[in-house]
Amino acid sequence: MYLFYSNATGFYPLPAPQDHRNRFRRSTNISIPLAFHCQEYFLVAVVLLLTYCCHYLYAILFYQTIKTMRQTILLLTIIVLSFAANAQSSKTNHMSTVKPFKIDVKQSVLDDLQNRLKQTRWPDAPENIGWKYGTDPVFLQKLVAYWQNGYDWRKQEAALNKLPQFTTEIDGNTIHFIHIKSKNAHARPLLLIHGWPDNFYRFHKVIPYLTNEYDLIIPSIPGFGFSSHTAMNDDGSAKVFATLMHDVLGYNNYLIAGGDVGQGIAKSIANLYPDNVAAIHLSDVGYPNGTEDWSTMSKAEQEFGQFIQRWWYQEGAYAMLHATKPQTQAYGLNDSPVGLASWIIEKFNTWSTPGSSIESKFTNDELLTNIMIYWITQTINSSMRTYVVDYSVQLASSKKVSTPTGVAIFPGDAPTPKEWAERRVNLKRFTQMEKGGHFAALEAPELWAGEVDAFFKSLAK
């Protein structure tokens, strides 16, 4: 979750971002857009035309034979065909960089994990403290016992590998993604973007509800999961995903759904590439950060701002650590699986449907598989760094979105009023959901998928 943080709110008054057309300046292993090839052809044609004219004048002035003219024309033709073949080869090579991907964790990594779990040095805790001071020690000890004696990573790995996964190289970074093509010939491409502290696994339960109507593209954000350990801000990830959708997968127009970090990236894509994004669906739109003119805000917005202020002091310490000193805590979280589990599990408890236990909302296997993806990829540090990287740049995600937007607010998340959503996006649908929270796609998959589908279908009427 992002609060009072530049990647989502634009908290720092800073200069405007660079023109997004700079995205064409890429490494040679990435395809050059077709428009750029056309510019190449045009320049080559102009040069060749001038060369031909010079030879023609030379033939007239110095009485060159027709044979010489024919040889010149043949040479020019060969040159043009060579340029065309080279350009086509470049495009073909780019497409070949998409590689099938399978998760295959070395057994030595799993053995090391078990040794670390056995050697856990548990801290003391007040009796019957529950979740009051953070992660419930009783719950965590039970979860770790199951991790050691009941959890089967190979079973979860096999289940994940049933999903069509791929990697590609974009701007020197490996990007991991799931790509599920619908059997429906009229299906629309839908990009699903996760947040923190989860990963692409957030969406695995909604896949059956959406594949009849959509081609699903579910990437790992840079710095998360099986993507490169390169932390990026909203605009950086937006450029990567726009390249993935348009240049790699060939989608000229698509839909996006996301929340938390994903909502910031979705807004950046919509603002940087408005011609490519038909609509977006969000589970939050960002939060008041204290820079607003409260005299222009409705009573509901002002109450929301006060709520966020209280939330910041009660629950936002993690975000301040991520945004200031992520490296300090990374040593412990990357070294201790129990420490990592504690840091993540507390958020799954706090940010889900209020009034019920964490066991009633997520299974142990779901909680541990999400944690395992952080553990085996060692991405907890790079994921936390997304809160701090390039905070000196004004981001496109901080600007109002003109792309048609649907917003669903879940009871386990911040109580965003409709007026605030209208201030931030081009609001076409606003729904207060009955169940779910920050991880709604995992906690209430049918409900989340139904709302997303209903919004996108409403735009087609």
Give the up-direction half-sphere exposure of residue 313: CA atoms within 13 A in the CB hemisphere.
5
Domain limits, the chain: 1-24+100-461, 31-96
Note the pLDDT tens digit of each residue in 106-131.
999 999 999 999 999 999 999 999 99
Residue 336 and residue 116 in contact, taking contact as beta carbons nearer than 8 Å = yes
The tokens 């990435």 sit on which residue?
30
Instruction: Give exposure, 233-243, as e/b (b: 16+ Cβ within 10 Å).
Output: bbbbbbbbbbb
Of 147, 114, 141, the residue nearest 371 (C-alpha): 147
Give me the CATH code for the 1-24+100-461 domain, please: 3.40.50.1820
The Cα 106–Cα 356 span in angstroms is: 37
Phi-psi region of 192 (alpha: psi -120 to 50; beta: other; left: phi over 0): beta
Q: What is the pLDDT of residue 18?
A: 34
Tokens 């301040």, residue?
320
Distances 262 to 2, 85, 173, 219 between C-alpha atoms, Å: 10, 39, 19, 11
Instruction: Specify whether the CB–CB gap between 428 and 285 falls below 8 A.
Output: no
Q: What's the mean pLDDT in 408-412?
A: 97
Question: Which strands make up the sheet holding 99-101, listed edge to edge?
Answer: 99-101, 165-170, 173-180, 214-219, 188-193, 254-258, 277-282, 401-409, 425-432
Query: Crossing angle for the helix pair 364-377 and 137-149, nearest 10 degrees?
Result: 80
Closest by CA to 444, choosing from 225, 390, 452, is 452
Q: Which residues contact 429 (CB under 8 A, 6 or more apart)?
A: 406, 407, 454, 455, 458
Higher pLDDT, 26 or 268: 268
* pLDDT the model gives residue 394: 81
Closest among 332, 310, 420 to 121, alpha carbons compared: 332
The pLDDT of residue 289 is 86
Q: What mean pLDDT is predicted for residues 370-392?
A: 92
Residue 60 is predicted with a pLDDT of 53
Note whether 432 and 409 are within 8 A (CB).
yes
Q: Using omega within 30 degrees of 0 as the cis cutoff, is the peptide bond preceding 197 cis? A: yes
- Give CA–CA dist 444/379, Å, rounded: 26
Condensed to tens digits (0 to 9), the pLDDT of residues 171-189 reads 999 999 999 999 999 999 9
Q: Which is more confidently placed, 375 or 51? A: 375
In the DSSP assignment, the letter for residue 31 is: P
DSSP per position, 261-300: HHHHHHHHHHHH-TTTEEEEEES------S-S-GGGS-HH
Nearest CA to 178 among 225, 143, 132, 131?
225
| pLDDT above 80 (res 34) | no
Residue 22: what residue type? N
What mean pLDDT do residues 277-286 have? 97
How high is the pLDDT of residue 178?
A: 98
165 within 8 A of 100, measured Cβ to Cβ: yes
Residues that are catalytic: 260, 387, 438
Is it the case that residue 93 has pLDDT exceeding 60? Answer: no
pLDDT band at 300 (very low <50, low <70, confident <90, very high): very high
In contact, 350 and 358? CB cutoff 8 Å: no
pLDDT-derived band at 95 (thresholds 50, 70, 90) equals: very low
pLDDT value at 368 more than 50: yes
